[in-house]
């Protein structure tokens, strides 16, 4: 297959005149950093996901850090998470002096295996939190995970960086878990949920994230710690006609706030979230139809709440051991594929610290070796989707056993 100049990128944000106008309005307002636009974004996001509290932050990584800090994670504690994720999911535990315990993923998908988690928790004291990662937008087996953690009094944090808006159908989860929500979203079921608005995500602010929780104590702690531990907002101190210049540092906090410039983009993206989801679902259906008959290609697992941040294609048969070569040929054919994820137990830092080998987590390692991610983003044209599908099929046909 000859290279094409019509390159289809792996990801591209879908931004329109609405986002441009919103940013210009902030620029003209005289206030650029965290203020009333961010507050409005928080309120609108909380209403969308059905949560009573949402806190905007400058990244999902910051949100996970704040979540664990608010839960009291510290030296001597353990945090359990998956090795099949981005480094943030584990690194935040190390930022607080805690140790990471990896739990392998399920055979059927890329998420935490509840049975394996149960075994870890049954034999490991001082597990202070579990971070469940909804990889690619496919929700974890939340009923099982919440039951396992709940019986031991261990808070479950949802890393929902990929999972907006992963909405569970009504009646698909036990009533006790959904807190009265008719169609709960992934990220709203655990003690704390964290979303990402990075440039490649399902909605974007360029950089940014959102934390949701129903716990007022946790919310207050995270709100304080995201802004240097101040007892009041900078917006109030600098803009109110009756505000005093005086403030106090209540805690040694962080600089994790989201500015109005980025929140303005987020507010407009949020309005389009449902349409964006339908576009990605349509692309996933087209890929499934194209690849479903190939003995060399395995389509991703499906779920009615899948947000389709990633389309993770697995290679079979003679292709399974030649993933890297397949990737290179696909790139040469003009398709911007990617890899999600290189398991963390293969990374030098975690491998050395915890004495891990590739075989330590066999499911994560095996799936990594034969998986690649295809472009799936709102704004892709039908022609681009067809070109990706054709390139994948032609590339697969070009391999010989």
Q: What band does 3 get if pLDDT is binned at 50, 70 and 90?
A: very low
Lowest mean pLDDT among 36-45, 99-108, 239-248: 239-248
Known catalytic residue at 272: no
- Interatomic CA distance for residues 140 and 373, integer angstroms: 19
Could you give the CA distance from residue 198 to residue 161 in angstroms, rounded to a whole number?
A: 9
Q: Which of 59, 32, 40, 16 is nearest to 267 (CA)?
A: 40
Query: Over the stretch 124-147, which tens digit does the pLDDT of each residue have?
Result: 999 999 999 999 999 999 999 999
> 17-271 adopts what CATH topology?
3.40.640
Answer yes or no: pTM beyond 0.85: yes
Residue 163 pLDDT greater than 80, yes or no: yes
Each residue's pLDDT tens digit, 288-344: 999 999 999 999 999 999 999 999 999 999 999 999 999 999 999 999 999 999 999
Contact 374, 392 (CB under 8 A): yes
- pLDDT of 180: 87
Q: Tell me what the mean pLDDT of segment 249-258 comes to.
A: 96
- Residue 2: pLDDT band (50, 70, 90) is very low
pLDDT tens per residue across span 65-95: 999 999 999 999 999 999 999 999 999 999 9
Phi, psi torsion values for 310, nearest 5 degrees: -125, 145
Q: Return the pLDDT at 12.
A: 97
How high is the mean pLDDT of the chain? 95
Percentage of the residues of the chain whose pLDDT score is greater than 90: 91
**pLDDT value for 247:** 84
Query: Catalytic one among 39, 201, 272, 367?
Result: 201
Residues 327 and 374: beta-carbon distance below 8 Å: no
Q: What does the pLDDT look like over 178-210, one tens digit per residue?
A: 888 889 999 999 999 999 999 999 999 999 999
pLDDT tens digits, one per residue of 17-39: 999 999 999 999 999 999 999 99
Of 233, 209, 276, the closest CA to residue 63 belongs to 209
Place of tokens 């962080």: 254
C-alpha of 48 from chain center: 17
Residues 6+ apart with CB under 8 A from 313: 287, 291, 297, 298, 299, 300, 371, 372, 373, 374, 392
The Cα–Cα gap between 335 and 321 comes to 20
Q: Which long-range contacts (CB under 8 A, 24 or more apart) does 26-29 make?
A: 26/260, 26/261, 26/264, 27/261, 29/260
Residue 237: pLDDT over 60: no
Angle at which helix 382-397 crosses helix 273-291, to 10 degrees, equals 30
CATH architecture of the domain with residue range 273-397 = Alpha-Beta Complex (3.90)
Show me where the domains of the chain are located: 17-271, 273-397
Compute and round to an integer the Cα radius of gyration of the chain. Answer: 22
């Amino acid at each position: 297959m000859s290279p094409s100049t019509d390159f289809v990128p792996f990801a591209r944000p879908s931004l329109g005149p609405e986002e441009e106008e919103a940013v210009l309005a902030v620029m003209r307002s005289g206030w650029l950093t965290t203020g009333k636009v961010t507050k409005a974004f928080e309120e609108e996001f909380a209403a969308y996901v059905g949560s009573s509290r949402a806190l905007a932050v400058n990244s999902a990584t910051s949100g996970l850090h704040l979540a664990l800090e608010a839960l009291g994670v510290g030296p001597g504690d353990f945090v359990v998470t998956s090795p099949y994720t981005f480094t943030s999911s584990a690194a935040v535990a190390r930022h607080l002096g805690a140790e990471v315990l990896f739990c392998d993923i399920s055979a059927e998908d890329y998420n935490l295996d509840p049975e394996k988690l149960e075994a870890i928790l049954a034999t490991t004291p001082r597990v202070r939190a579990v971070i469940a990662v909804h990889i690619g937008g496919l929700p974890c087996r939340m009923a099982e995970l919440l039951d396992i953690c709940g019986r031991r009094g261990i808070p479950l944090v949802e890393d929902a960086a990929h999972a907006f808006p992963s909405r569970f159908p009504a009646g698909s989860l036990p009533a006790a878990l959904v807190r009265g929500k008719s169609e709960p979203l992934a990220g709203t079921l655990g003690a704390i949920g964290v979303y990402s608005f990075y440039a490649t995500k399902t909605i974007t602010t360029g950089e940014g994230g959102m934390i949701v929780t129903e716990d007022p104590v946790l919310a207050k702690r995270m709100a304080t710690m995201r802004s240097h531990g101040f007892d009041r907002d900078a917006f109030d101190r600098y803009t109110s006609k009756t505000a005093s210049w005086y403030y106090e540092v209540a805690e040694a906090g962080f600089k994790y706030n989201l500015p109005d410039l980025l929140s303005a983009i987020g507010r407009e993206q949020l309005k389009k979230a449902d349409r964006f989801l339908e576009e990605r679902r349509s692309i996933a259906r087209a890929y499934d139809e194209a690849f479903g008959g190939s003995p060399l290609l395995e389509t991703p697992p499906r779920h009615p709440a899948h947000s389709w941040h990633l389309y993770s294609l697995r290679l079979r048969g003679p292709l399974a051991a030649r993933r890297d070569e397949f990737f290179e040929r696909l790139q040469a054919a003009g398709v911007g594929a990617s890899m999600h994820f290189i398991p963390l137990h293969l990374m030098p830092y975690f491998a050395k610290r915890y004495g891990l080998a590739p075989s330590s987590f066999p499911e994560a390692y095996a799936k990594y070796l034969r998986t690649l991610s295809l472009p799936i983003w709102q704004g892709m044209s039908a022609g681009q989707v067809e070109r990706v599908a054709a390139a994948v099929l032609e590339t697969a046909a070009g391999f010989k056993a």
